[in-house]
Chains A and B, each alone.
Chain A
Amino acid sequence: MKLFRNSLCLTTSLLLTFSSVHAKEFLVGVELPLSGSYARAGKGNLEGITIAAEMFNKHNPKHKIKLVTIDDESSPAKAQAAVEKLAGQGVVAVTGGYSTTVTGAGATAANKAGLVYMTHGAPGKDILERGFKTFFRINNTEGYTTAISGLLGDMGVKSVSIVTSSLQATAEVANDVKKDMAAKGVKVTVHTFDPGTADFKSIINKIKLQDRSEAIFMSALENDYVGIIRAAKVLKPNIKALVGLWSLATPKMATDFPDLMINVFGTAMLPYPAEFKTQEGKEFVETCKRLYNKPPDYLAQLGYVQAQVLFEAIRLADEKGTLTKGGLPAELRKTNRDTLIGHVSFDKNGDNPNFQQWIGQHQAGGKIPLVWPKDRSNVNMKYPALPW
């Protein structure tokens, strides 16, 4: 019996060793802002990419993804240098990037090196016009614009003031929403501000006394939202709703700024608490809790999907023997599958035309249910409703 048990242990160990020895390892470069002004986004994204690698390696004993991470310090020049360094280290592809400007620099270097660059951090339009052959992204500004315009349209507002950061992607969404709403006969006023702006009272006062709009749409980043909503709480313009873009309808904002966020709308992919119904979704949440001791946020979710789609394409290209012959872009273009953010496929420019956002609303108890579109929501939106 003892001999049998020892033999069994030995065989199992050998099998495990054999399989791990024969797991083909692929280096994947991760270029992200882990310091600088986009560090929060970069860290959230890295969590998602790490979870994707962990889950991929668990389910694919013959293939192993090894991540090589470089901090681009939220700087275009550093992003370019990081991708060049990763190319020199022999990575098969690069993923990461945040902000269209920084990501554009990284994607340029990847394109020169013939490496696939996969991101969720460059939703702006102009990056697609640069003729990159190896650039892929899972999201775009159109997905956000549709959600914002749809919500404002369903609210039936007659006038809207847009407060937008001059950053490329936020300004692009603001401009597209302006066009959409103007086409519907809604009066639109745009207030563009520099990313360094801290005091928004003058802008809000203009909205209160000059624009007299029914709603404010904030196309901005987390720190801007806090400043804008605070200024609005002080000046109390006669509006019916405050609507924001990315990074707003998140549990982090609900926890950190409960008094400012209540009743505020923002784009979202999932309600909070998140309800994943698929096996993959449940495993994603469990892995995140195991690795980071917290439930995943939207940044981790986007990072997970971009990495998971990439890793799967690497596996398929390797199995077909095309990976070393430049077959990865072609394999990615064949992607046509459901993911945690919805359906993903890529057009000839590497864009995902299926990308769609929904709208969540901060409500009592720190919950953020989806409230738009109606077929996605099981909770009524509170409207008119404001944080004050």
Chain B
Amino acid sequence: MSALILQSLYSGLLTGGYYALIALGLALVFSTVKIINLAHGEMVLLAAYMAYVMENSFATNPVVAMPLALVIASLIAVIIYFLISRIKKHRELNSLILTYGIGIILTNAILITWSADIHSTSNEAMQKPITIGPFSSMTSELIFLGVSMLMVAALWWWLTRSWYGRAVRAVSSNRDAAKLMGINPQNTELVAFIVAGILASFAGVALYCTGVIQPSLGTALTTKAFIITVLAGIGSIPGVLIGSVLIGVAESLTVTLYSSAIQELTGMVLFLLVLFVLPNGLFGQTRRRG
């Protein structure tokens, strides 16, 4: 039984790391620009298809696709921000409709370009089983758990230590006051979107290396990312990692100790429970600063 539990915890940790990678970009934009980007999942998916294109066309390791994925995902992020910045009234609400529409357009563009077939890496190095004591996984899962932790740390550092990160937080806290301090809110928000695009590109390559991609996956990715963002609490980047791992471990333990049939339900129940007890999420700020 202990072997089962240990492997289950490990699987939950790996899944959590992967969830965090997907959620980080959405969490950043949601907490700083106050926009729920419903096309975030499609951005991740597009980056995953870049990894597929590179592997399929040039027989390379899908990780090599990272620069291409970065460019494409960031470009899409810039376009999304450009369109959002055109909204004059009720930005929060109208941006929901806009990004939902962009998500549909991206899904269909992927469908037309790469057909409805499923794809995943066939790279041996990525799929190679790796066993450390009682823990087994694919090499790619372990790599991207590390990448996920690194991304959380980097994003946290960027938001708290860099000038642009502080500017993003300042605009998020009080747009007018930030303007008076010489910060250009438009440029700052654009930077936040570009960083979200960069995070989406890492998530996309991870998705292709560890799972299976198909054009209809985007909505499910956005939903998962949104649940984690709200669970973590608006504005908490380390909370995203903790919330993701919590959901991953809860799902995994449910399979091991009870039934795989209610795996997804467990994540949702946990999410609702946390919100019931902590309406601001696990690490959400109760009072606005500034």
Residues on A lying within 8 angstroms of B by beta carbon are 35-37, 39-40, 42-43, 74, 166, 191-194, 196-199, 201-203, 205-206, 209-210, 222-223, 226-227, 230, 233-236, 252, 256-259
Contact = CB atoms under 8 A, between A and B. Distances in A.
Given A199-B252, A222-B118, A256-B119, A233 B260 contact: no
A227 B211 contact: yes
Given A194-B264, A199-B15, A210-B4, A74 B216 contact: yes
A205 B214 contact: no
Contacts of A222: 118, 212
Contacts of B162: none
Interface size class of B (residues with CB under 8 A): 35 or more
Given A36-B216, A230-B138, A259-B124, 7 more contacts: A35-B216, A74-B216, A196-B220, A205-B7, A205-B8, A252-B117, A258-B122
Contacts of A210: 4
Interface in B154-208: none
Contacts of B280: none
B61 interface: no
A39 B216 contact: yes
Q: 7 closest Cβ contacts across the A-B interface?
A: A39-B116, A202-B255, A40-B116, A192-B261, A223-B212, A194-B264, A234-B129
A253 to B, nearest CB: 9
Contacts of A257: 120, 122
Interface in B214-242: 214-216, 220
Interface stretch (B34-42, B73-81, B87-95, B107-115): B107-115
Contacts of B286: none
Contacts of A36: 216
A226 to B, nearest CB: 5
Contacts of B255: 202-203, 206
B264 A40 contact: no
Nearest to A209: B4
B263 A230 contact: no
B263 A194 contact: yes
Contacts of B129: 233-234, 236
B136 interface: yes
Contacts of B8: 202, 205
A210 B8 CA distance: 13
B11 interface: yes
Contacts of B122: 256-259
Given A191-B260, A193-B260, A205-B8, A42 B136 contact: no
Contacts of B256: 202, 205-206
